[in-house]
Chain A
Amino acid sequence: MKGKLVGMNGDRAVAFAAKQAEVDVISAYPITPQTIIVETLAEYVNNGELDAAFIPVESEHSALSAAIGASLSGARVFTATSSQGLALMWEILWIAAGLRTTIVMAMGNRALSPNINIHCSHDDAYAARDTGWLQFFAENVQEAYDLTLMAFRISEDHRVLFPSIVNLDGFILTHALEGLHVLEDEEVKRFLPKKQPVNPIDPEKPMTYGPLDLFDWYMEHKRLQYVSLEATRPVIKEVFEEYGELSGRSYSPVKTFNVEGAEVVLMVLGSSAGTVRYVSRRFAEKGKKVGVVSLTQYRPFPKRELREALKDASVVAVMDRSVSFGSPGAQLFMDVASTLLQAKRNPLLFDVIYGLGGRDFTPVDVEKIVSKAEEVLKKGEAPEEPLWVGVRGEE
């Protein structure tokens, strides 16, 4: 593991990464649990440690709007949000992606109201899934730091030019103090050269941004955006590999653990992956194979890598830290189901709802999921309803 070992919580680690990335503009509005990120950046700017414009705005809607203007003018731009803040940004998310800005946004994942909750669910990440942003999930503080740096590099690559969201679980990562290895400023500088903007706002070369676009060209613009987002996949891998060589920490779109020959596989996003892997390791000691698949890259959805990761699975428990009301399953479940269906692979699939609003997720819960998966395997039939783990009352 390369780099100096320091202790930071997730929010401070992300802020530190943004500082090392020498962002030009920070446009943000505070919201728990990401507040420490922008507070820390405000301190850096105030202390003169970071030469950036810090734009305090009156809402998240404005935060992202200002970030778009700054990004289009050629600046390296950072913002952060959570939950209700993301919801207020929502219409602007589409614009940030469609105008091909390179904003990097950290999201301290938090449950959406009602009732008011400040703890972790993945509702906010899922709410942004269709908007055209790239999305990454950190499993620990180290990954939150690393992914923030990589997000700048990926977004600003001329083969990409899309904004990125780095997800880190609210409180579990944003507020947890962990040891992490950080790169030297000079190393980051080499990894992240100055942004080279494409079509920047320039009075010498006037252009129209975001004009009216009716039935005559709107569809062609969407086709171009679709194809361009699909084309980011190899670039993301390339940056993951390059960063791996630089840092000694390897990254890939899909992380697998004990999947070879495992009939039962659990799929998960974010910080819970470690808990699931811990249980899988304990089962392995007893000679039982339980595979674990987690995603570092959530958008674009790593279809090919996921099919490969699940090729031996007979039953897959897809864990969602969210509810999608009225849908055939929660959000990750629907993604996994359609990915496998397209590949004409049909392991038994069922949805697991866990950890909503920061509800503790323990090894005992993982064991319950594994028992359910084994039951499904024995019966040869998957339940239509999701399994709710860690909830009180009748099943």
Chain B
Amino acid sequence: MSESLVLKIKGWKDLPIGGVIPEPKTSLYNKTGNWRAITPVLDNKKCIRCLLCWVHCPEPAIIRNEDDSVRIDYDYCKGCGICANVCPVHAIEMRMGEIGNEG
């Protein structure tokens, strides 16, 4: 996308009036993965390709591959843990600490 208006905002004087976000797709650079406190770690060997995690992820930060295997998009994963909770074979473990691509 072209240069973002939003990224040029440094203080209150730069804000557009009415509190609008003046352009779409700001999530492309507003990477919410850095909100995460605990991080899902996927063990691909255990994964049975059921895609329950892909269905349930509210972000969506579970990316579906061609072969129905999945990977986690750490740029947007907020660490809610739903994927680990719905996985029937416990292939996703929630771990503390800095893991993955930190936005």
Q: Which residues on A are within 8 Å of B, measured CB to CB?
A: 98-100, 161, 198-199, 206-211, 213, 217, 220-221, 223-224, 227-228
Contact = CB atoms under 8 A, between A and B. Distances in A.
Contacts of A227: 12
Contacts of A161: 17-18
B8 interface: no
A100 B13 CA distance: 16
B97 interface: no
Interface in B41-85: none
Nearest to B13: A224
A207 B16 CA distance: 11
29 contacts: A98-B18, A98-B19, A99-B18, A99-B19, A100-B17, A100-B18, A161-B18, A198-B17, A199-B16, A199-B17, A199-B18, A199-B20, A199-B22, A206-B23, A206-B24, A208-B20, A208-B21, A208-B24, A209-B19, A210-B19, A211-B19, A211-B21, A213-B19, A220-B11, A221-B15, A223-B12, A224-B12, A224-B15, A224-B17
Interface string B1-39: 000000000011101111111111000000000000000
A220 B24 CA distance: 21
A217 B6 CA distance: 12
A220 B17 contact: no
A209 B22 CA distance: 9
Contacts, number: 47
Contacts of A198: 17-18
3 interchain residue pairs of minimum CB distance: A220-B12, A100-B18, A208-B21
A221 B20 contact: no
Nearest to B19: A221
A217 B13 CA distance: 12
B23 to A, nearest CB: 7
Given A199-B22, A209-B19, 10 more contacts: A98-B18, A198-B18, A199-B18, A207-B20, A209-B20, A210-B19, A211-B19, A220-B15, A221-B15, A221-B19
Nearest to A100: B18
Interface residues of B, number: 13
Given A198-B17, A228-B17, A207 B12 contact: no
A99 B15 CA distance: 13
B6 to A, nearest CB: 10
A198 B20 CA distance: 11
Contacts of B15: 217, 220-221, 224
Contacts of B17: 100, 161, 198-199, 224, 228
Contacts of B20: 99, 199, 207-209
A207 B11 contact: no
B23 A221 contact: no
A191 B22 CA distance: 31
A228 B18 CA distance: 11
B1 to A, nearest CB: 13
A185 B13 CA distance: 39
Nearest to A72: B18
A213 B20 CA distance: 10
A208 B11 CA distance: 19
B11 A209 contact: no
B11, B12, B15, B24: residue with the most chain A Cβ atoms closer than 10 Å = B12
A224 B18 CA distance: 9
Nearest to B16: A199
Contacts of A207: 20-24
A78 B12 CA distance: 30
A199 B19 CA distance: 11
A198, A208, A227, A228: residue with the most chain B Cβ atoms closer than 10 Å = A208
A227 B17 CA distance: 11
A379 B24 CA distance: 66
A99 B11 CA distance: 18
Contacts of B24: 206-208
Contacts of A209: 18-20
